[in-house]
Amino acid sequence: MSMEWGWDNARAVIGLVVITGIAWLLSENRKRFPWKIVVGAVAMMYAFTLLLFGVPIVRAGLDSVNGGINVLVAATREGTAFVFGPVIGDQAKWEQLVGSPGPIFIFQLLPLIIVIGSLSAILWHWGILKVITNGFAFVFQRTMGMGGPTSLSVAANIFMGQTEAPLLIKPYLKVMTRSELLIVMATGFATIAGSVLVVYVTLLRDTLPAVAAHLITVSIIASPAAVALSMVMIPETEVTSKSSGGTDFKYHSTMDAFATGATDGIAIIWNIATMLIAALALVYIANAMLGAIPIRINWNGAEQRLSLDMLLGWLFAPLMYVAGVPLEEAARAGTFVGQKTVFTEFVAFINLGALPADAITERTRTIVTYAICGFANFGSMGILIGGLSIMAPERRPDFLSLAWKTLYAGTLATIMAAAVVASLPYALFKSADHPVVPAPVGTQISQ
């Protein structure tokens, strides 16, 4: 295995400092820089990454996740085929019948969320997910000095959504410090729920076979990054909530967990569907307006009219460059980070999955996958504030005041996770059965 290391890797190490510096510039108290927390968080990120990819037995376990996802996809297809009919439930049969692509997204990808939601609730009720979550909470509490409720919420965000994880610490939200609240909110933005992780795997695995391992890894290592960046932005000056206790999801039986998880999955599906309809419509409108400007720019090797992708790509290119993406691919990588931030990570993952394998290098595709793997976007700000305000209405002014810092911390945390991966030799992460595909010189993404 070749372990080549060069300027792109070294620049990613510098990028860790730059990202932390941006958080410091946004700090409410720049004189209180929690350097021990920052150094500890970076060390933890590297330790988890090397454990997950550097230890053969652990890496083999991560790689085997793809097999389990294949089972989940097949199981979901069985359910959708029974409910909607074998033609609608099977993409190949639909195309054979009508000669054009069918409604695969709504009938095959999104129903995965129902299956995973139900399965996750059952695993929680049986205590399996609870033990894993408490294990991560113990690590965060001991290594980063967080209070029990805060560390539990951070750990839960690795597996749950941004509004589900805080339910475990609902009684403590009203007494948490502003720094703790930012940690709870930012970690929700820096990770993704297990229910949608499987959907993202199905979108990307054709061009990035090890994507399941990467998405699991980023959800784990972005958590300490979000904690550290949050504490840089709002250094802790008060007594933190030290209770080690928390509430629980009260499922009365396995059948209750099954039904509740499935119902919650339906709510997530319709939220995603409505957000996608609105987001893609706004993209079309924005491109139509920008395209009316009589300016042509060399983009993707050809003269094109101004577009939203171009603007987003240029805006986020510097961050992706310092995160380790080569200069010639930085604008293309920035496009996806911009789409994730302005719209949703779903839009970014769909477009990244549709990008031909030879459009960018596998290394850059991997870095982008880490950078966009989180809920940090404008739409999620409203969802998170609304959900937390219901749990602790007396803290709503604090939730509102922390909204923009949450977006910044969540976005920077996933890019920080991307920089950690980019700083290491890519041979450590590359799928053995999928060689790196070099990108043609001078190409650009065309969405």
What is the residue-wise DSSP string for 90-125? Answer: -HHHHHHHHSS--SHIIIIITHHHHHHHHHHHHHHH
Asked if the structure places residue 339 within a domain, the reply is yes
Q: Which one has a higher pLDDT value, 333 or 392? A: 333
Q: Which one has a higher pLDDT value, 25 or 393? A: 25
Q: What pLDDT shows up at residue 75?
A: 75
Q: What pLDDT shows up at residue 169?
A: 75
Q: Which one has a higher pLDDT value, 280 or 369? A: 369
Q: What pLDDT shows up at residue 109?
A: 62
Q: What pLDDT shows up at residue 88?
A: 60
Asked if the structure places residue 359 within a domain, the reply is yes
Residue of 425, 273, 304 whose CA lies nearest to 363: 425
Q: What pLDDT shows up at residue 436?
A: 39
| pLDDT per residue as tens digits for the range 196-211 | 777 788 888 888 888 8
**55 by DSSP, 3-state: which?**
coil
Neighbours of 40 (CB within 10 A): 17
CA–CA dist 114, 79 (Å, integer): 11
Asked if the structure places residue 89 within a domain, the reply is no
Cα dihedral value 401, 405, 411, 416, nearest 10: -150
What letters, b where the CB count within 10 A reaches 16 and e where it falls short, cover 88-117?
bbbbeebeeeeeeebebbbbbbbbbbbbbb
Among 9-13, 269-273, 371-375, 427-431, name the most confident range.
9-13
pLDDT tops 80 at residue 112: no
Question: Where do we find the tokens 């080690």?
Answer: 244
Asked if the structure places residue 446 within a domain, the reply is no
- Return the structure tokens found at 285: 């409108």
pLDDT tops 70 at residue 432: no
Asked if the structure places residue 92 within a domain, the reply is no
**145 by DSSP, 3-state: which?**
coil
Among 83-87, 155-159, 387-391, name the most confident range.
387-391
Instruction: Tell me the pLDDT of the chain averaged across its residues.
Output: 80
Asked if the structure places residue 439 within a domain, the reply is no
- Return the structure tokens found at 360: 């960018």
pLDDT tops 70 at residue 104: no
CA–CA dist 219, 381 (Å, integer): 19
Q: What pLDDT shows up at residue 249?
A: 65
pLDDT band at 166 (very low <50, low <70, confident <90, very high): confident
Q: Which domain holds residue 34?
A: 7-63+110-236+244-428
What is the average pLDDT across 383-395?
82
What letters, b where the CB count within 10 A reaches 16 and e where it falls short, cover 45-77?
beebbeebbeeeeebeebbebbeebeebbeebb
Q: What pLDDT shows up at residue 441?
A: 33
Q: Which one has a higher pLDDT value, 419 or 246? A: 419
pLDDT band at 435 (very low <50, low <70, confident <90, very high): very low
Q: Which one has a higher pLDDT value, 301 or 361? A: 361
pLDDT tops 70 at residue 298: no
What is the average pLDDT across 8-15?
94
| pLDDT per residue as tens digits for the range 64-94 | 776 777 777 777 777 777 766 665 655 556 5
Q: How many domains does the chain have?
A: 1
pLDDT tops 60 at residue 100: no
Among 108-117, 155-164, 370-379, name the most confident range.
370-379
pLDDT band at 107 (very low <50, low <70, confident <90, very high): low
pLDDT tops 60 at residue 390: yes
Q: What is the DSSP letter of 205?
A: T
Mean pLDDT lowest for which of 98-107, 257-266, 365-374, 413-422?
Answer: 98-107
Residue of 175, 186, 187 whose CA lies nearest to 239: 175
Asked if the structure places residue 394 within a domain, the reply is yes
Asked if the structure places residue 436 within a domain, the reply is no
pLDDT tops 90 at residue 405: yes
pLDDT tops 70 at residue 440: no
